[in-house]
Amino acid sequence: MYLLTGLLEQLETYLDKSQLALVEEAYIFARDAHEGQKRSSGDPYITHPVAVARILSEIHLDHQTIMAALMHDVIEDTEVSQEELAEKFGTSVAELVEGVSKLTKIKFSTRAEAQAENFRKMMMAMVRDIRVIMIKLADRLHNMRTLGSLNNEKRRRIANETLEIYSPIANRLGIYSIREEMQVLGFAALYPMRHRILQASVKKARGNRKEIITTIQDAIEQKLKKSKLGSEVIGREKNLFSIYRKMRDKQMTFFEVMDVYAFRIVTDKIDTCYRILGQMHMLYKPVHGRFKDYIAIPKANGYQSLHTTLKGPHGLHVEVQIRTEDMQRMAEIGVAAHWLYKSSGESNPAELKAREWMRSLIEFQENAADSIDFVENVKIDLFPDEVYVFSPDGEIISLPTGATAVDFAYFIHTDVGNACIATKIDRQLSPLSTPLVNGQTVEIITAPGARPNPAWLSFVITGKARANIRHYLKNLRIDEAIKLGRRLLDKALRGHELEAFSEEDIQRVIKITRHKTLDDLLVAIGLGSVAAMIVAHHLNPDISDYNEGDDSKPLAIKGTEGMLVTFAKCCRPIPGDPIAGFVSAGRGIVVHRDSCNNIAEYRDQEDKMIPMQWADDVLGDYPVNLRVDAKNERGVLAKITSTFANADANIINMQIEDHDGIHYRIHFLVSVHDRVHLARIIKKLRATPSVIKPTRVSD
C-alpha cells in the first residue's frame, strides 16, 4: 500500500475525503486486475498506473481523471470490460478508460495504419472529453521516464513518436511542464550521443556564465526595486532539446545559442507587466523586431506573456519574459488549469483555445479519406509558430507561420474557402499563394459557383484547409467519375440506355462485379478500373467486340469533362486532331492524338482503347508544342513573341538552345483554340523576318 500512500498524500492537498475514498477503491481494483503482471523493467505492473496518476495529481486533475489513470490499462491488459467499469465506477470513468485504451482487437494491414487508427480514436475520444488526452500524455511521459528497459529499436520508435505527436499536443494544450520533459527525454533516447555531448557542453558553459547571469539579474532587480514594481526575477535556462533544435534549424553554433541569457519576471497584474516592460527598455536597449505581445494576442494554446530581447552588457542578448502569476500557472499546466480554478466559473484562455482546436479535429475526421490522412492533417496543424493577421472587421486571426490567404479563408469558414477566387492583402490584390506576415489585413473575395483548385494543395499550410480541399475534390472526382462511367457504359451498350434494363439485371451485374451500388460500379468504369464493354456484355450477352464495320459513334468530348478526362502531354491533342482515348486505371481517360506512338501497342485492346472525337461545341485553350528555328539576329525573339501575341496565342513556357552559333532553336509551349488557330499562327510565323521554320512537335 506504500504506492497508494504517496499518491493520497499528494491528492489530500485538493480532494475531499469522499473523493479520496473513490480513488482508493479504483487503486485496489486496478491492483487486483493487474495481479501477477510485470513491466519490462521487472516491476509490478501497478507501479505504472500509480505513476501516471501522480503526474496528473501534480497538476490537480479531478478525482475521476485520477481514477481513470489508475485503471487506464485494465480494458486492454486484463479481462475487465467497459460495462463492468461503468457499473462499478460510473459511465464517465469507464468512458475515460475506454478512450485511452488502444485498439488491440482489430487487425490492420500495416503498422502505420494501426498506429494511425489508434491515434485517430484517441483524438476523437479527446474531443468528447479532453481528460482523455491528459491521461494519455501522463501515460506517455511515464513510459518515456522508463525507456531504459526497452531494446534500442523500440526505444527510438517511442521517442520519435513522442517528439512528433505527443510533445506538440502538450504544447497545443499549453502544458509546458509535460512538453519540456518529453522533449528532453525524447532527445536523449533518439540521439544519445548528441545528448551526452550537449549536456557536457552546457554543464561546462554554465560555470562560465554564473557571473554574467548574476550581474544581469542584480541590475534587473535593482531597476524594479527603484521603480517600486513588486515582482520576482528568475534566471531561465533552455532545455537541451531546445538548444539542439535551434542549432539544427537556424544553423547556429553552440556558443551562439549559449550567448543568449534568458530571464522571467513574474508580477501581480497585467498593468504592471507593461510598466515593467518600459523599465526593461530603459535599462537596456531593445533589439529591433524582437518584441512580442502575447498578452494582447495570446498564442494558439492560450499562452500569455510579454517577450522582448535586449542588448545587455558587453553586447550580449538578454531575453526577458514578463507575465502575471496566473499566466505563469497557465504556462505550466495550460488547459489543466480548468480543473484547478473551475470554482471561479470562468474558462481560461488555454481551455477556450483547446476547444476551438477540438472543433477543427471533428472537421478533419469528417473530411479525411482514412486514418493516415487524418493523422497527417493533425500533424500539420500542430505548428508551434504563429502569424497574426486581421480580418477586414479588425478581428485578430492566428495562423501557422507560412499560412496563405487560402488558409485564412478556410479558417473563417469552409464555404468561404471553397468559394475563394482572390484576395486583397492590405487592400492590394495579391496571389492566393502569398505567405501572410504579422499585422496584415486580409480580405477574401468569393464568387458563387467557384470551387477549390487542386493546385492549392501545393501551398496551403493548415490541416483544415488541406482536409477540406481534398474532401471537395474527392467528391467532385466521384461525381465526374459517375457521369463519365455512365457515358462509357451507354456507348458500350450500342444504342441501348442503362435505364432500358431491369433493376434485377442491374443488381445481378453489380453483384458479379463485386460492387455495392450502381454508383460504385459507374465510378469504377469512369476511373478505368472496370471495362465498360465487360459490364455491357453482362447486361446484354448479344453485345460482342467492336467490328471493322461497326457504325457506333465515337465518344464525343468537349474539353470540360473535368479531372477524369486528361490530355496526354506526349502528343498534346487539340480540337481538330483525330483522337483516341486510353483508359488508365485510377485516372480515367487520357486523350491522345490518334497517331501517337505511345498508344500504338494498345490499339487492339478494347478494354484500354476508346474511339473518340471532338464535340462540335468544344471549348477552351489547349497547350501545343512548337519548335521555331530562327536566325541569330538582334530582336528576333521580340518579333516572334509579338507574332504570338498578335495571333491571340498565349506563351506558357519557352526554352532557347543555340543550334550552331548562327541559328537559334526555340521550343515554345503555347495555348491555342484548335487546329485552325494553330495553322494561322504557323502561317504568321513563316512570314516573320528571321524565322526559318516553325514546326509542331511532340514531347
Query: For the domain that residue 682 is a member of, what is the CATH number?
Result: 3.30.70.260
Listed in sequence order, the residues at least 6 apart from 550 whose beta carbon sits closer than 8 Å to its beta carbon are none
User: Domain for residue 58, yes or no?
Assistant: yes
Q: Give residue 323's pLDDT band: very low, low, confident or very high (50, 70, 90).
A: very high
Q: Are residues 515 and 567 in the same domain?
A: yes
Closest CA to 68 of 93, 47, 36: 93
pLDDT of residue 107: 42
User: Domain for residue 443, yes or no?
Assistant: no
User: Domain for residue 303, yes or no?
Assistant: no
Which residue type sits at 89?
Answer: F
> Which CATH number fits the domain that encloses residue 61?
1.10.3210.10
- State residue 263 phi and psi, 5-degree precision: -135, 150
- Looking only at the bridges linking them, the beta strands covering 292-293 and 306-311 are antiparallel
Q: Are residues 538 and 670 in the same domain?
A: no
- Looking only at the bridges linking them, the beta strands covering 588-593 and 442-446 are unpaired
CA distance 585 to 415: 32
Which residue type sits at 648?
Answer: D
Q: Which residue has the higher pLDDT, 490 or 445?
A: 445
Task: Identify the burial level of 382 via C-beta atoms within 10 angstroms of its C-beta, where 0-12 means exposed, 13-18 middle and 19 or more buried.
Answer: middle
Handedness of CA 283, 287, 289, 292 (dihedral sign): negative
> In 3-state terms, what secondary structure has residue 390?
strand
pLDDT of residue 485: 78
Q: How many domains does the chain have?
A: 3
- Looking only at the bridges linking them, the beta strands covering 555-557 and 609-614 are parallel
User: Domain for residue 174, yes or no?
Assistant: no
- Residue where one domain finishes, among candidates 145, 176, 210: 145
pLDDT of residue 105: 40
Q: Are residues 487 and 579 in the same domain?
A: yes
Task: Identify the burial level of 695 via C-beta atoms within 10 angstroms of its C-beta, where 0-12 means exposed, 13-18 middle and 19 or more buried.
Answer: exposed
pLDDT tens for each residue of 420-436: 999 999 888 888 988 99
Query: Residue 593's domain spans which residues?
Result: 471-614
Q: Are residues 140 and 10 in the same domain?
A: yes
pLDDT tens for each residue of 142-192: 999 988 878 888 888 889 888 887 888 888 777 888 888 999 999 999 999
pLDDT of residue 548: 39
pLDDT of residue 377: 60
Q: Are residues 476 and 607 in the same domain?
A: yes
For every residue of 36-85, DSSP letters joined together read T-B-TTSSBTTHHHHHHHHHHHHTT--HHHHHHHHTTTHHHHSS--HHHH
pLDDT over 80 at 343, yes or no: no
Q: Are residues 626 and 608 in the same domain?
A: no
Q: Are residues 638 and 503 in the same domain?
A: no
Q: Are residues 508 and 583 in the same domain?
A: yes
pLDDT of residue 677: 93
pLDDT of residue 680: 93
Q: In this structure, are residues 406 and 419 in contact, taking their beta carbons and an 8 Å threshold?
A: no
Q: Are residues 603 and 669 in the same domain?
A: no
Q: Are residues 671 and 592 in the same domain?
A: no
CA distance 479 to 534: 22
User: Domain for residue 235, yes or no?
Assistant: no
pLDDT over 70 at 404, yes or no: yes
Q: Are residues 661 and 563 in the same domain?
A: no
Q: In this structure, are residues 488 and 555 in contact, taking their beta carbons and an 8 Å threshold?
A: yes
CA distance 100 to 133: 8
Task: Identify the burial level of 557 via C-beta atoms within 10 angstroms of its C-beta, where 0-12 means exposed, 13-18 middle and 19 or more buried.
Answer: buried
Rg (CA), the chain: 33
User: Domain for residue 539, yes or no?
Assistant: yes
CA distance 560 to 538: 31
Q: Are residues 485 and 559 in the same domain?
A: yes
Q: From residue 571, give the alpha-carbon distance in Å to each of 577, 592, 681.
A: 11, 6, 18
**What residues are annotated to the active site?**
76-77
User: Domain for residue 411, yes or no?
Assistant: no
pLDDT tens for each residue of 12-50: 888 888 899 999 999 999 988 888 888 887 888 899 999
- Residue where one domain finishes, among candidates 614, 638, 665: 614
- Residue where one domain finishes, among candidates 114, 145, 176: 145
User: Domain for residue 371, yes or no?
Assistant: no
